[in-house]
């Protein structure tokens, strides 16, 4: 099995742009799609990015996803930060036998 | 409207058994996989396993294999997660979620069931 490593926390000011990384420990990041979930306190997770860079309907285009094979990582970028974006963000991927979540990143918008 | 509605919070003692549920509605229950995800207090998400209600094909995370049982009753569009002997370390929020496609994207989530195991 592989691991997905995320920074424990990031913080940025409203209106700015933040990028959260997710590094795969073994195997290629490009071999299986990456999803990103947002979890606000006391709520269930919701998808903000699926299949590396696709946005579900209703998710603003301020959210974007990408993968970088050279660093074997995925990234979630949120531009024009709003206070409502403050939440925990989890990357997720899979292999033939398991689904793996990253440890989560707490985004603070201050 | 797609909905996954989970059973209510539970307080149990170590060694007791438990079965929690997740009722799907608003879509074809038998044609989407349903997964279970654990979230221990203050911690991250952990995938436990998944079931295809159409034929009850079930897969488990190696971390949870043998620790829990996932099942489904398609006649009442409900998936289940059960323990035969709870431990204090099973204290957590448990979410069910619908998987869309083959890329492990969970597009709809239940509201969560809080399980507390304490003597």
How many other CB atoms are there within 10 angstroms of residue B32's CB atom?
A: 18
User: What pLDDT does residue A97 have?
Assistant: 84
Residues of chain B with pLDDT under 70: none
Name which of A33, A45, A50 is nearest B109 (Cβ-Cβ). Answer: A45
> Is the distance from CB of B110 to CB of B5 less than 8 angstroms?
yes
Pick from B105, B108, B111, B112 the residue to mutate for testing the A interface (most A CBs within 10 Å): B105
Measure the CA–CA gap between A79 and A105, rounded to whole angstroms: 16
Q: How confident is the model at residue A62 (pLDDT cuts 50, 70, 90)?
A: very high
The answer for residues whose C-beta is within 8 angstroms of residue B82's C-beta and 6 or more apart is B17, B18, B19, B20, B68, B69, B70, B71
Q: Which pLDDT does position B101 carry in this prediction? A: 78
**Which candidate in A99, A101, A103, A106 is best for mutational testing of the B interface (most B CBs within 10 A)?**
A99
Q: What is the pLDDT of residue B104?
A: 82
pLDDT over 90 for what percent of chain B? 95
Beta partners for residue A36, in sequence order? A49, A91
Q: Is A21 helix (H, G, I), strand (E, B) or coil?
A: strand
pLDDT digits (tens, 9 = 90+) for A96-107: 889 999 999 999
pLDDT at residue number A96: 85
- Distance, CA of A89 to CA of A94 (rounded, Å): 17
């Amino acid at each position: 099995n592989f691991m997905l490593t995320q920074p424990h926390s990031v913080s940025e000011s409203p209106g700015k742009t933040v990028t959260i990384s997710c590094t795969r420990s073994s195997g290629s990041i490009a071999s299986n799609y990456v999803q990103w979930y947002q979890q606000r306190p006391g709520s269930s997770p919701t998808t903000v990015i699926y299949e590396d860079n696709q946005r579900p309907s209703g998710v603003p285009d301020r959210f974007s996803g990408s993968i970088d094979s050279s660093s074997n990582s995925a990234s979630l970028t949120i531009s024009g930060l709003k206070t409502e974006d403050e939440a925990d963000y989890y990357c997720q991927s899979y292999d033939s036998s398991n689904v793996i979540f990253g440890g989560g990143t707490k985004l603070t918008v201050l | 409207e797609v909905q996954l509605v989970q059973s209510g919070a539970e307080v149990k003692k170590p060694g007791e058994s438990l079965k929690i549920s997740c009722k799907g509605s608003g879509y074809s229950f038998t044609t989407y996989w349903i997964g279970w995800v654990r979230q221990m207090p203050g911690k991250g998400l952990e995938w436990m396993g998944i079931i295809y209600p159409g034929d009850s094909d079930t897969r488990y995370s190696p971390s949870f294999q043998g620790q829990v049982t996932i099942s489904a009753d398609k006649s009442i569009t409900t998936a289940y997660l059960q323990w035969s002997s709870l431990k204090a370390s099973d204290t957590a929020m448990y979410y069910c979620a619908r998987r869309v496609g083959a890329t492990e994207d969970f597009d709809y989530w239940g509201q969560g069931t809080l399980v507390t195991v304490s003597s």
